[in-house]
Amino acid sequence: MKNLQELLEHQLKDLYSAEGQYAEVLPKMVAAATDSKLKAMFTDHLKQTKSQQDRVRKVLEDINVKPGGVKCEAMAGLIKECEGMIEEDATDAVKDAGLIAEAQRCEHYEISGYGTATQYAMTLGHDKMVKVLDAILDEESRFNEELNDLAIQEINKKAV
């Protein structure tokens, strides 16, 4: 990579990969969750994740870059952690609390990635891209907050 534009392109490809990997594990998280609110949240976020990946693909295409070619190794590791929790022999409430923890780790990674990519796009004057990435960043942050609220208000108390 020679400049910020190339770094931005790499970051976007990484996010495209991360969203795709997350979309593959979310249905398993829905199946593993026992709390109806958590199941609904994971189901809704799966739709949102697919939409986010589509929007990242469009952003890449708008700058004449093909998505793909990069595997997000960080998300691959986080997905392994999600799968470990899915397979964990735990009581329902403890598993739900663990699934929230794993989902939040994924969200924190995405929040970091979208925050960075948004700043790069801003620096480079990609105003249209900034709006798209900032909207995704807001969605990721909002889902993280919703997970946190559910954990604090209900799930963690049940897991005690």
**What is the reported pTM?**
0.96
Q: Count other C-beta atoms under 10 Å from residue 9's C-beta.
A: 19
**Cα 102 from chain centroid?**
11
Quote the CA–CA distance of 104 and 146 in Å, as a whole number. Answer: 10
Q: Residue 81 has which token pair?
A: 């952690």
Domains and CATH numbers, the chain: 4-159 (1.20.1260.10)
The answer to whether residues 116 and 14 touch, using CB atoms and an 8 Å cutoff, is: no
The DSSP 8-state label assigned to residue 69 in this structure reads: S
Q: What is the pLDDT along the chain (160 residues), one digit of tens a residue?
A: 999 999 999 999 999 999 999 999 999 999 999 999 999 999 999 999 999 999 999 999 999 999 989 999 999 999 999 999 999 999 999 999 999 999 999 999 999 999 999 999 999 999 999 999 999 999 999 999 999 999 999 999 999 9
